[in-house]
Structure 1
Amino acid sequence: MEQQKNKKTYTPKEALIKAAAYCAYQERTQQEVRTKLFSYGLEPDDVEELIVRLSQEKLLDEERYAQSYVRGKYGLKKWGRRKIVQGLKAKGISDYCIKQGLKEIDFEVYEQNLLQLLEKKNSTEKEKNPFTRRQKLTYFLVSKGYENDLVQDAIKSLGA
């Protein structure tokens, strides 16, 4: 109850300025912006109006967000497609935007990432039993979001 009194509320005009800065700092989803606007004490109609306005001014673009997310997760964290799609869906991104975002993936780099992860994990894996070792490597790569058939092909090529 005490926190409610101290919380500052903003007019839609002030909220637009703050939301524009929030979106300019890094790519955001509509849901993230919606949550932020509600935290400013705005009415639902005002929130939706501001989201439309931010989208029109190209400060809020879910397709661009999806592309940026994909580049980061597959380029830096070396995630597979399945984990990336799962992450985007969890953030409420539309299937169309997810599809556009996945176009950022270069298949050759994607395969290289998979092989690098496999080689690194294989060199640190202590398991001696070949069957259990394969199982652990497979589980690791699948948990990173790589497709099962690609994982099996990579493990076969490694000869593990």
Structure 2
Amino acid sequence: MNPTHGSYTVEEAKRTLERYCAYQERCHKEVVEKLRKMNMIQLAIDEVVGHLIEHDFLNETRFAGAFARGKFRIKSWGKQRIIRELKMRGLNDRTIKVGLQEIEPEDYYHVFDTLSRKRNNQLKEKDKYKRRKKLADYLLYRGWESNLVYEKIQELIP
């Protein structure tokens, strides 16, 4: 950053954003927000984003896959929550679909089963209907599909 007037040249912005994107996968929206915070004009933003795409620092398909894998493995999010979050980041449906393919179906059901059993065991509620509702609300909030949730609840709380 140039200390005299607090703005970046296009080259400085390119280098800064290369480091930003190399550190962690980013989506276009995050990069554009970062450039706006750097007080870059739209013409410069377009040039920097084009440079990042051209040199493979910015790739939304790669971002979608990394995001889906990470949120699934670390936070145990279901596909619905991952889709919602990716849409908020401005990704299109095709890219999201490709990203979700990073999650193996066997792993998906195993994590769902483990998470739902663990949460059911944590619930202190004695009333069967309230217990079902609490478990359903928890799993739905985490983004698991409603058909899976209701089948699992019938299995765990008959």
Q: CA deviation at 1:156?
A: 2.4
| 1:57 alignment counterpart | 55
Answer yes or no: is 1:121 the counterpart of 2:151. no
Deviations 1:10-61 (A, max 9, x none): 1111111111111111111111111212222322011111101110110000
Q: CA deviation at 1:98?
A: 0.6
Count of residue pairs brought into register by the alignment:
156
**1:37, 1:54 → 2: CA distance?**
12
| 2:153 alignment counterpart | 155
| 1:133 alignment counterpart | 131
Report the RMSD for the aligned CA atoms in angstroms. Answer: 1.6
| 2:65 alignment counterpart | 67
Give the TM-score taking structure 1 as reference length: 0.91
Deviations 1:36-90 (A, max 9, x none): 1222232201111110111011000011000000000111111011100011111
Give the TM-score taking structure 2 as reference length: 0.92
**1:90, 1:6 → 2: CA distance?**
37
Correspondence for 2:78 among 77, 80, 86: 80
Q: CA deviation at 1:6?
A: 7.8
Identity %: 37
Which structure 1 segments of 5+ residues have no match?
none
